[in-house]
Amino acid sequence: MTKLFTTLFATVLISSCGDNNNTNKTSTSTSDSTSTMKISLTDKKAFQDTIDGKMTDLYILKNTNGITAAITNYGGRLVSLFVPDKNGKFTDVVVGFGSVQDYIKSTEAYFGATIGRFGNRIAKGKFSLDGKQYTLFTNNGPNTLHGGKKGFGDVVWDATQPNDSTLELRYISKDMEEGFPGNLDVKVTYTITNNNEFKCDYLATTDKKTVVNLTNHAFYNLNGEGSGTINNHILQINADFYTPVDSTLIPLGKNEAVQSTPFDFTKPTAIGARVNDSANQQLKYGKGYDHNFVLNDKTAAMKQAATISGDQSGIQMTVFTQEPGLQFYGGNFMQSKNTFKGGSKDDFRTAFCLETQHFPDSPNQPGFPSTVLEPGQTYKTSTFYRFTVIK
């Protein structure tokens, strides 16, 4: 496996004064409160490949405060995200790989990926629209997960970078691709804002009635890659209810109160405080947390979904979304089989995901918010992750 940040062909530096005229420079510097430092990003050449006849690359986004993201158009994957910690040191809070080939070879398919057509699980790989049943590829036991055998995280997106802080990705998913009806025209815009946010804007239209549920599947460790467990991160989720699941992680169709359960994160709580509660059947099913939370403030246009902070770094990430749900995954299926860009392994529970979404299996659950998109309608939703520090 490639060790990144050690031997690089291209080093990208960014300036805290926001020099937007230096986009062609291969190196720059960014300053924190105490010193000038270099932020080394992944080797760009390792992301320049040809897959399915299309070129892949690595794109660098930055804001005027020095926050930097690296995104590849292979799967629309967030590869790196550098933010300052409590001491002003820039830390890469996203775990991932150092090349396109490492992503392809990974035993975990979803690191950093843009997920679609349908994020999360669809029971038994089947759903019906207007009386017609559609059959999908089952890639997660008896169920379909994150779009099927070849979801949006495995395709090459058409990429346009209109400015230093923005990347636009477009993909047209053909009618019946992975079993889903309709030609779906998707546009995803990723932005690093000057409010220190990683912003995700999703748009889609279709020519046939279909179902859509898009999200980003970045794996985070707010202490940085190789820093160990995320169980000491402090998490708060603004949800009074969650959706319990069966043994295959398909929702039972009802919402249950989190109060007096290990799923109560309504107050800041260490992730690992109750994760090993052997008496809780839901934790047994998920081998820990891998559940959808029903977000409060259902009428809010943009709701604060969650806040999480790194116990070592003091980096705090707050999630805002227009989506009704949030999937909290605690890295329970990480098995030390892959080597990240910095050289560490993907060890058990060393990264987490907070995926904004409509609920799992919504096409088969009439009581859940609808994921149906019809011709003439536009699927439009936004999520952003804001980064601050706790001293």
Active site residues: 217, 355
The residue written with tokens 């601050």 in the block is 388
Q: What count of other Cβ atoms lies within 10 Å of the Cβ of residue 256?
A: 15
Cβ 313 vs Cβ 86: under 8 Å = yes
Among left, alpha and beta (phi > 0; psi -120 to 50; other), residue 184 is: beta
| Cβ neighbourhood burial of 306 (10 Å; 0-12, 13-18, 19+) | buried
Query: What is the C-alpha separation between 384 and 220, in angstroms, rounded?
Result: 14
Task: Count Cα atoms within 13 angstroms, Cβ side, for 184.
Answer: 30
DSSP 213: B
CA distances from 210 to 126, 133, 344, 365, 381 (A): 13, 12, 41, 15, 17
- Cα separation, 285 vs 266, whole angstroms: 22
How far is Cα 137 from Cα 89, in angstroms, rounded to an integer?
Answer: 44
End-to-end Cα distance, the chain: 36
317's CB contacts (< 8 A; 6+ apart) are: 93, 220, 222, 307, 308, 309, 354, 385, 386, 387
Signed CA dihedral, 258, 354, 339, 110: sign only:
positive
Which strand (E) or helix (H) includes residue 159?
strand 158-163
Output the six-digit token pair for 114.
């843009």
